[in-house]
């Protein structure tokens, strides 16, 4: 590869050598002077040097701003960053994991200004020498070598001339705008002193653009099979069957549409008054308004009336009859269950059936509100008599019901239909005898609702609501202690005890009591299915009800058809109190406001209210609440908030009664003293009575 030489440089040096030979002494002095001057000024003056020797004057362009000294001295800091201003900031990539386009946070800031890909080689490189040697070209001597040869020639005075020529040559090379090269003097362009930037840095950066696309590869699968004659035949047969099924479905849809059209026509003709259902809610509100206006005197008594005679009868009280609830279609049925709604305090449920096994038939489930005593809020007819019911404390729309035929069911008040949402069958472990009581319990570990039931077949069963079915678990099977009956072929079978009532402890969840037809009360635990914790010989006839005290954890009450009501301490086998009511007792209930107040109903139509803190021997209220002598009272319940009780009889009527002040009075506050309140006070009040009864026993034991 030929390398060009600097001919002009060599010529100038030769010329300077010739000139130096003629004027060697004079030029040498000038050379020394010029070198000194260059060392002092650090500048090389050529043509046009007179401009710099003169005094410098600042030339301002006409459009330049006039700035003050403070503005001129003000510094403006500019920060140079390595970020590319033309780098795109909105690059996105498709994320197959999230199935969406996601922006990329990291952007490449590298900017390439110039790239040249070629085949040029530097003349002094090894590769260039190899190519010249291969092509047979003679290496040309560089200009420095020729100059060195001329310098090596021994001539004394010529050295001075050579030095002068070098000075002239340097002046000519470094000052292209000198007089020798360019006689014309160019006007210098003034630069902006405030915002100056060299033109070399003002190159445009071409914006980078990238476009990418990623696609999922199409799914691939290898399939291999042998096509036989019978396989082809089967495929055709399946296709024909599918076509036939589709035709049948289309025919069925057409027939259904025609039937629906016909039904709509008949309903339009038969029931022209269906528009009333659209205003059902409004009509119910109007009905309540009418009934409250009609029975306004009863509503006033419920809210404001207080029996003034209680001030003169310190230890006696009265019951004021309020509303009487009845339903025409339930006149021949007995009230078999009562239960208040814990969330809506004015709503209560009534179970209707029959205690006479010779007159068993249909039953009914009703919901009444104190706001409307003339008609039930909800009506659920049943095929078998309702024996018991319980409303869930938190989910007030769920209601567990036990029937005479041994079934248990769960009704949902939110559903419009009359059928229960859950019901046990013979396959799902229903009882073989009437279910006498049901009780809701706390949800299990899996948050499934569950309730317990007791029946005459001796089983205490836990029912769990799982999806669309009831799952049963036998908790305990009651048996009569003592002799064992011998079955056929010498088999010994324990006699099963018939459970009639039960109740769970208010604080200890696993502890519960079961009353039996034999008159015994068993204390049981959920954790021991084959063992009874305690057995109390309570009554001579069936135990109709057994209930724990709302406040005291050791006290429970029981009643029976043997005319007695007994109060027990579950740590002692003998009763603490026994009351004879001179008639079969149908039901008993503790009051929710006092630990010493309870009420009982008898078959002679009377309600007995006791307050042990006032009188431990006799009832402070004994009042007949039914008009006919043959009417029997079956159940009683205290309202959880209001001072009223509801009483059911064997004719299907429910009567509400208001307690007079003496039946719910609290101890009078003395001046300057505040009486303590709360459940601890009620527990202490009952404990005081129990201590009076325990003292003789403790002294006799000592």
Q: What is the pLDDT of residues 641-668, one digit of tens each?
A: 888 899 998 888 899 999 888 787 665 5
Question: In the prediction, which pLDDT does 186 show?
Answer: 62
Query: How far, in Å, CA of 588 to CA of 598, rounded?
Result: 7
Token code pair at residue 355: 């205690």
Q: Give a yes or no: residue 127 inside a domain.
A: no
- Among 538, 498, 537, 535, CA closest to 517: 498
Q: Give a yes or no: residue 312 inside a domain.
A: yes
Q: Give a yes or no: residue 629 inside a domain.
A: yes
Any idea what the CATH number is for the domain that residue 568 is in?
2.130.10.10
Token code pair at residue 548: 């724990």
Find the length of the chain.
702
Q: How far is CA 509 from CA 153, 466, 471, 477, 513, in A?
A: 126, 22, 21, 19, 12
Q: Of 251-265, 378-392, 535-549, give the lowest mean pLDDT range.
A: 251-265
Q: Give a yes or no: residue 596 inside a domain.
A: yes
CA 38 to chain centre: 89
Q: How does DSSP classify residue 188?
A: P
Query: How far, in Å, CA of 417 to CA of 334, rounded?
Result: 24
Q: Does this model's pTM top 0.85?
A: no
Q: Give a yes or no: residue 437 inside a domain.
A: yes
Collapsing DSSP to helix, strand or coil, 530 comes out as coil
- Among 368, 374, 363, 441, CA closest to 402: 363
Task: Provide the percentage of residues in the chain whose pLDDT is more than 70.
Answer: 75
Query: How far, in Å, CA of 113 to CA of 115, rounded?
Result: 7
Query: How far, in Å, CA of 240 to CA of 333, rounded?
Result: 61
Collapsing DSSP to helix, strand or coil, 637 comes out as strand
Query: How far, in Å, CA of 239 to CA of 329, rounded?
Result: 59
Which tens digits make up the pLDDT trace of 330-364?
Answer: 878 889 999 998 888 889 999 998 888 777 888 88
Question: In the prediction, which pLDDT does 429 show?
Answer: 82
Question: In the prediction, which pLDDT does 117 show?
Answer: 83
Token code pair at residue 192: 């902006």
Q: Give a yes or no: residue 278 inside a domain.
A: no
Token code pair at residue 203: 């190159």
Collapsing DSSP to helix, strand or coil, 248 comes out as helix
Q: How does DSSP classify residue 140?
A: P
CA 478 to chain centre: 43
Token code pair at residue 7: 């001919």
Give 191's pLDDT tier (boundaries 50, 70, 90). Answer: low
Q: How far is CA 355 from CA 88, 388, 608, 632, 646, in A?
A: 88, 12, 22, 12, 20
Which tens digits make up the pLDDT trace of 72-89?
Answer: 888 888 888 888 888 888
CA 58 to chain centre: 79
User: Total structural domains in the chain?
Assistant: 1
Token code pair at residue 142: 């560089």
Choose between 606 and 173: higher pLDDT. 606
Query: How far, in Å, CA of 651 to CA of 354, rounded?
Result: 10
pLDDT at 280 over 70: yes
Query: How far, in Å, CA of 227 to CA of 223, rounded?
Result: 12
Q: Give a yes or no: residue 216 inside a domain.
A: no
Segment of 56-60, 156-160, 184-188 carrying the highest mean pLDDT: 56-60
Task: Provide the percentage of residues in the chain whose pLDDT is more than 90.
Answer: 8
Query: How far, in Å, CA of 407 to CA of 386, rounded?
Result: 10
Q: Cβ of 339: how many Cβ atoms within 10 Å?
A: 21
3-state secondary structure 6-41: CHHHHHHHHHHHHHHHHCHHHHHHHHHHHHHHHHHH
Query: How far, in Å, CA of 175 to CA of 606, rounded?
Result: 137
pLDDT at 236 over 80: yes
- Do 308 and 320 contact (CB within 8 A), yes or no? no
Element (H, E) at 622: strand 621-624
Question: In the prediction, which pLDDT does 54 show?
Answer: 60
Which tens digits make up the pLDDT trace of 485-540?
Answer: 444 444 555 567 788 888 888 888 888 888 888 888 888 888 776 777 888 888 88
Q: Cβ of 517: how many Cβ atoms within 10 Å?
A: 15
Give, in degrees to the nearest 5, the angle at Cα 15 between 9 and 19: 145
- Among 396, 349, 343, 393, CA closest to 641: 343
Question: In the prediction, which pLDDT does 698 show?
Answer: 45
Mean pLDDT, the chain, whole residue set: 77
Token code pair at residue 506: 């208010």
> What does the pLDDT average to over 463-480?
83
Which tens digits make up the pLDDT trace of 31-53?
Answer: 444 444 445 444 444 555 555 55
> What does the pLDDT average to over 370-393?
88
- Per the structure, the complete domain to which residue 356 belongs is given by 296-480+494-666+678-693
Token code pair at residue 670: 């003395």
pLDDT at 17 over 60: no
Q: Which residues are bridge partners to 463 per DSSP? A: 451, 472
- Do 635 and 335 contact (CB within 8 A), yes or no? yes
Question: In the prediction, which pLDDT does 142 show?
Answer: 52
- Among 540, 536, 541, 529, CA closest to 514: 536
Query: How far, in Å, CA of 389 to CA of 435, rounded?
Result: 10
Q: Give a yes or no: residue 700 inside a domain.
A: no
Query: How far, in Å, CA of 98 to CA of 101, rounded?
Result: 8
Question: In the prediction, which pLDDT does 666 show?
Answer: 61
Question: In the prediction, which pLDDT does 695 show?
Answer: 54
Query: How far, in Å, CA of 513 to CA of 535, rounded?
Result: 9
Choose between 353 and 29: higher pLDDT. 353
DSSP letter for each residue of 410-457: EEETTSSSSS-SEE--TTTT--SS-EEEEEEE---TT---EEEEEETT
């Amino acid at each position: 590869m030929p390398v060009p030489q600097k001919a002009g440089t060599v010529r100038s040096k030769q010329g300077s050598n010739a000139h130096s030979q003629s004027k060697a002494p004079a030029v040498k002095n000038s050379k020394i002077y010029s070198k000194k001057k260059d060392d002092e000024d650090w500048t090389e003056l050529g043509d046009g040097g007179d401009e710099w020797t003169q005094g410098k004057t600042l030339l301002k362009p006409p459009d330049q701003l006039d700035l003050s000294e403070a503005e001129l001295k003000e510094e403006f800091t500019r920060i140079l960053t390595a970020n590319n201003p033309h780098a795109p900031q909105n690059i996105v990539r498709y994320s197959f994991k999230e199935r969406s386009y996601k922006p990329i946070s990291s952007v490449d800031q590298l900017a390439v200004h110039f790239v040249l890909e070629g085949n040029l080689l530097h003349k002094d490189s090894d590769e260039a020498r190899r190519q010249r040697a291969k092509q047979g070209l003679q290496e040309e001597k560089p200009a420095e070598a020729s100059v060195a040869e001329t310098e090596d020639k021994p001539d004394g005075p010529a050295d001075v001339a050579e030095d002068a020529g070098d000075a002239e040559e340097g002046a000519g090379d470094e000052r292209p705008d000198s007089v020798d090269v360019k006689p014309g003097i160019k006007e210098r362009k003034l630069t902006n002193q405030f915002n100056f930037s060299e033109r070399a840095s003002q190159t445009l950066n071409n914006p980078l653009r990238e476009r990418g696309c990623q696609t999922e590869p199409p799914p691939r699968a290898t399939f291999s099979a042998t096509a036989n004659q019978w396989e082809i035949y089967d495929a055709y047969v399946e296709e024909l069957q599918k076509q036939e099924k589709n035709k049948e479905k289309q025919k069925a849809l057409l027939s259904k549409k025609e039937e629906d059209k016909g039904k709509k026509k008949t309903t339009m003709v038969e029931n022209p008054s269906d528009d009333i259902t659209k205003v059902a809610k409004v009509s119910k509100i109007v009905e309540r308004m009418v009934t409250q206006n009609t029975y306004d005197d009863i509503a006033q008594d419920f809210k404001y009336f207080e029996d003034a005679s209680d001030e003169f009868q310190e230890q006696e009280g009265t019951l004021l009859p309020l509303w009487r609830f009845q339903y025409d279609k339930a006149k021949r049925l007995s009230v078999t269950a009562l239960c208040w709604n814990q969330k809506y305090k004015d709503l209560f449920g009534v179970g209707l059936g029959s205690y006479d096994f010779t007159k068993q038939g249909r039953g009914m489930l009703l919901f009444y509100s104190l706001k409307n005593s003339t008609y039930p809020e909800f009506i659920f007819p049943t095929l078998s008599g309702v024996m018991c019911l319980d409303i869930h404390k938190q989910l007030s729309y769920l209601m567990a019901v036990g029937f005479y035929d041994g079934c248990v069911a769960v009704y949902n008040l939110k559903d419009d239909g009359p059928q229960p949402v859950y019901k046990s069958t013979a396959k799902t472990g229903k009882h073989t005898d009437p279910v006498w009581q049901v009780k809701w319990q706390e949800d299990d570990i899996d948050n499934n609702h569950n309730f317990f039931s007791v029946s005459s077949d001796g089983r205490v069963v836990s029912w769990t609501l799982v999806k669309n079915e009831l799952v049963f678990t036998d908790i305990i099977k009651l048996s009569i202690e003592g002799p064992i009956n011998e079955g056929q072929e010498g088999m010994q079978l324990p006699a099963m005890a018939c459970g009639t009532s039960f109740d769970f402890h208010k604080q200890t969840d696993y502890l519960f009591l079961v009353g039996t037809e034999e008159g015994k009360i068993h204390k049981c635990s959920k954790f021991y299915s084959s063992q009874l914790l305690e057995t109390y010989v309570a009554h001579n006839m069936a135990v109709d009800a057994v209930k724990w005290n709302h406040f005291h954890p050791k006290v429970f009450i029981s009643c029976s058809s043997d005319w007695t009501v007994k109060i027990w301490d579950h740590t002692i086998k003998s009763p603490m109190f026994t009351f004879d009511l001179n008639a079969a007792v149908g039901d008993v209930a503790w009051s929710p406001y006092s630990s010493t107040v309870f009420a009982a109903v008898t078959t002679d139509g009377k309600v007995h209210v006791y307050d042990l803190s006032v009188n431990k021997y006799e009832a402070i209220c004994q009042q007949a609440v039914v008009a006919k002598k043959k009417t029997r009272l079956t159940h009683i319940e205290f309202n959880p908030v209001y001072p009223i009780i509801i009483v059911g009889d064997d004719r299907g009527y429910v009567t509400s009664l208001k307690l007079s002040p003496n039946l719910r009075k609290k101890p009078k506050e003395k001046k300057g003293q505040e009486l303590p309140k709360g459940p601890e006070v009620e527990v202490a009040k009952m404990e005081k009575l129990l201590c009076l009864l325990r003292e003789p026993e403790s002294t006799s034991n000592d």
